[in-house]
Structure formats: structure tokens, C-alpha cells
């Protein structure tokens, strides 16, 4: 971890003002396009839902083992919409959507319309 992260010299937007019920929304603080993704953790053995958290950027269960069967392995499942049943187990991850432009359009002025006679690219 760097000193700037510890003392918050370069604060990074946490996108806290993005509504929880919106799938994709522009952050009012930084202007980035944010996608809300919901995840739940299930036991790999008995498929029981476990309360989850994020540790070191990874989605993990809060407890180290399943209270139903005692297994330590788990699976992470993405859900499309959050509902009242899964709200106690779900974890929200806000990700920035990168819009890459693959096509460009250029416009040129006719040579007869310019004073020098050379073509110029419009801004």
C-alpha cells in the first residue's frame, strides 16, 4: 500500500451518490458511467446463501465456514436484480463502464472555400 492511499492524498471517487436501484448511472461527483453489480456467496456443498463482504478486492463470505454443513469452499454468483430476499446476503460492486470509440468521422472543407486553397480538417 502506498502512502498516498493511506493518508488519502489522491482521493478516489467511491461513487456513493449512485442510486442502488439503477443498473447503469452517471456518478454526479466524477461524471463516470457506473454499473451496479450485485453478487451473493453460496456454499459449494449445500448451496446455502452466506452473508458476504469484500476483502482485498475479492468477494468472500463473512464466516470461514458454512453453518449448515461445515464446508469451507464457496461460489460467487452474480444476480441481475436485487430483491428483498437477497438484500441481507448480497454485495454491491460499482464498476466503471469504459466506452471505447472504434469509429471516427472526419469532415473536410472544399478547397474552393478556403483562402489559401489547402484543405483543412474541421475541429
Residue 69 inside a domain? The answer is: yes
Residue 104 inside a domain? The answer is: no
Phi, psi for residue 107 in degrees, rounded to 5: -125, 140
- What is residue 58's three-state secondary structure? strand
- What is the pLDDT at residue 64? 87
Residue 27 inside a domain? The answer is: yes
What tens digit of pLDDT does each residue of 27-49 get?
A: 998 889 999 999 999 999 999 99
What tens digit of pLDDT does each residue of 66-111 get?
A: 988 889 999 999 998 888 999 999 999 999 998 776 777 777 766 6
CB 66 within 8 A of CB 50: yes
What tens digit of pLDDT does each residue of 7-25 get?
A: 666 678 888 899 988 899 9
Residue 59 inside a domain? The answer is: yes
Residue 108 inside a domain? The answer is: no
Residue 11 inside a domain? The answer is: yes
> Based on the structure, what is the number of domains in the chain?
1
* Own/partner pairs, 23-32, CB within 8 angstroms, 24+ separation: 24/97, 32/96, 32/97
Residue 17 inside a domain? The answer is: yes
Residue 115 inside a domain? The answer is: no
For residue 24, the enclosing domain spans 3-95
Amino acid at each position: 500500500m502506498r502512502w498516498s492511499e493511506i493518508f488519502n492524498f489522491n482521493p478516489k471517487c467511491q461513487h456513493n451518490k449512485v442510486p442502488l436501484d439503477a443498473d447503469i448511472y452517471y456518478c454526479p461527483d466524477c461524471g463516470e458511467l457506473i454499473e451496479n453489480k450485485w453478487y451473493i456467496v453460496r456454499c459449494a456443498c449445500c448451496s446455502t446463501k452466506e452473508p458476504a463482504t469484500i476483502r482485498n478486492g475479492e468477494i468472500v463470505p463473512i464466516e470461514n465456514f458454512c453453518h449448515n454443513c461445515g464446508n469451507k469452499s464457496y461460489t460467487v454468483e452474480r444476480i441481475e436484480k436485487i430483491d428483498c430476499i437477497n438484500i441481507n446476503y448480497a454485495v454491491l460492486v460499482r464498476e466503471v463502464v469504459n466506452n471505447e470509440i472504434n469509429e471516427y468521422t472526419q469532415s473536410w472543407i472544399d478547397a474552393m472555400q478556403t483562402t489559401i486553397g489547402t484543405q483543412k480538417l474541421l475541429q
